[in-house]
């Protein structure tokens, strides 16, 4: 067997239906008395529910979390936490709120308890992406990792089918790049394959449930499986280095203010097609867990996105055609590892295909 190093995630995970009701117990276990609850403006209701659950141990709610974690919002949140004398933060929501919790925690040392309501998986990573002056930067530090993650399947039941699909594919992207990361290992590959398998089987059921009685009958189990898959995929992201796919998504999303999960969904099959010739073993692993792949991982991803009915074109989210070349140029800055040499002209064509909404194909 190959030699490898595996570092386990130190987070405590509480998983199951109604798990958020255990938040007071987790606060007590950590010896915290003054929680600032974080959310987006759309999830204030859930934040207020948690505030009621904690009673006097909740000192306030900050509901300005935003996509790509803008540093100016983080600065306001840090000042508010200090003003209230908070000794921990509780984030509830998707990647935007999780990112804000991480950003506050790494700046202040406050303990972070995370309650995700989407399938993004970022709650299991020591990685923080932040945006300032139109540029997104990423850093990795063990202190960024939330101390406790509470997966309450009940909080995902109202997640719209479309958002479920894109946040789930976002999670799959983490596992895909972990399969061929320079620091991958057999344990991570097992987690990656199981995570992709769980999400690829659950997401089509979630998307079909509103109009398909058969799918609706199995929706609770599918929701649970998707959240489980997201957890595993997040572990992969937190344990290995990412490559071209994540670089492109940070460039495109951060530079042109495109939605995070939707950008990952659109770019993923194109980035995989680009790297496929250099990583045949990883492609075989991926094809194995993607229904309809017929041994071709890129085909499997195309089939999955077709079944989910997701948008495939970056231009639909406001990216202009003249920004394609700009994005390719930014992607060449700050060298990063990738299994295949990154060629600017080929990357430009990759981004153009994603911009136009063309199916991924392996001819770059």
CATH number at residue 232: 1.20.1090.10
**Is residue 311 one of the residues assigned to a domain?**
yes
**pLDDT, position 4:** 83
Contacts of 279 (CB under 8 A, 6+ apart): 179, 180, 339, 340
Last residue of a domain, one of 156, 177, 211: 156
Identify whether residues 80 and 151 lie together within a single domain.
Answer: yes
Same domain, 236 and 146: no
CATH number reported for the structural domain that contains residue 144 in this entry: 3.40.50.1970
Q: Domain range for residue 126? A: 12-156
In a domain, 350, yes or no: yes
What phi, psi does 330 have (nearest 5°)? -65, -35
Distance in angstroms (rounded) separating the CA atoms of residues 85 and 122: 27
Residues 63 and 138 in one domain: yes
| 8 Å CB contact between 209 and 233 | no
Query: Which of 111, 130, 156 is where one domain is finished?
Result: 156
The DSSP H or E segment spanning 303 is helix 297-308
Give the chain's end-to-end CA distance (angstroms, integer).
33
Q: What is the per-residue pLDDT across 208-226, written as a single tens digit (0 to 9) for each?
A: 999 999 999 999 999 999 9
Averaged pLDDT, groups of 10, the chain, 364 residues long:
77 94 97 98 96 98 95 98 98 95 98 94 90 86 95 94 95 97 96 98 97 94 96 92 93 89 97 98 98 97 98 97 95 91 96 97 92
- Pairing of β 135-140 and β 127-132: antiparallel
Q: Please give the pLDDT value at position 288.
A: 98
Same-domain pairing of 26 and 52? yes
Q: Which of 104, 125, 156 is the last residue of a domain?
A: 156
pLDDT of residue 10: 67
- Domain count along the chain: 2
Statement to judge: residues 143 and 281 lie in one domain: no
Residue pair 34/113 in contact by the 8 Å Cβ criterion? no
């Amino acid at each position: 067997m190959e030699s490898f190093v595996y570092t386990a995630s130190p987070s405590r995970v509480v998983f199951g239906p109604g798990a958020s009701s255990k938040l007071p117990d987790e606060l007590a276990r950590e010896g915290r008395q003054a929680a600032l609850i974080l959310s987006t403006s759309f999830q204030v209701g859930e934040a207020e529910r948690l505030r009621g659950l904690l009673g006097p141990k909740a000192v306030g709610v900050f509901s300005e979390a935003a996509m790509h974690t803008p540093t100016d919002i983080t600065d306001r949140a840090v000042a508010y936490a200090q003003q209230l004398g908070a000794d921990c933060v509780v984030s509830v929501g998707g990647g935007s709120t999780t990112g804000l919790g991480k950003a506050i925690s790494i700046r202040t040392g406050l303990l972070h308890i995370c309650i995700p309501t989407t399938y993004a998986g970022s709650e299991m990573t020591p990685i923080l992406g932040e945006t300032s002056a139109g540029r997104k930067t990423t850093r990795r530090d063990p202190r960024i990792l939330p101390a406790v993650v509470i997966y309450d399947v009940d909080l995902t039941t109202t997640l719209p089918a479309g958002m479920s699909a894109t946040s789930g594919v976002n999670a799959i992207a983490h596992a895909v790049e972990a399969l061929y990361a320079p620091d991958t290992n057999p344990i991570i590959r097992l987690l990656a394959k199981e995570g992709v398998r769980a999400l690829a089987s659950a997401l089509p059921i979630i998307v079909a449930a509103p109009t398909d009685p058969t799918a609706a009958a199995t929706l609770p189990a599918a929701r649970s499986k998707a959240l489980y898959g997201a957890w595993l995929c997040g572990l992969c992201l937190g344990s290995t280095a990412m490559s071209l796919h994540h670089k492109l998504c940070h460039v495109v999303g951060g530079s042109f203010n495109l939605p995070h999960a939707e950008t990952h969904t659109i770019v993923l099959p194109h980035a995989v097609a680009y790297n496929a010739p250099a990583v045949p073993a990883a492609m075989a692993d991926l094809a194995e867990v993607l229904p309809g792949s017929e041994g071709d991982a890129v085909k499997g991803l195309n089939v999955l996105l077709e079944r989910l009915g997701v948008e495939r074109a970056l231009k639909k989210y406001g990216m202009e055609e003249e920004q394609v070349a700009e994005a390719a140029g930014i992607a060449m800055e700050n060298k990063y590892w990738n299994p295949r040499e990154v060629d600017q002209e080929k990357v430009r064509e990759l981004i153009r295909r994603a911009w136009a909404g063309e199916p991924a194909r392996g001819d770059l």
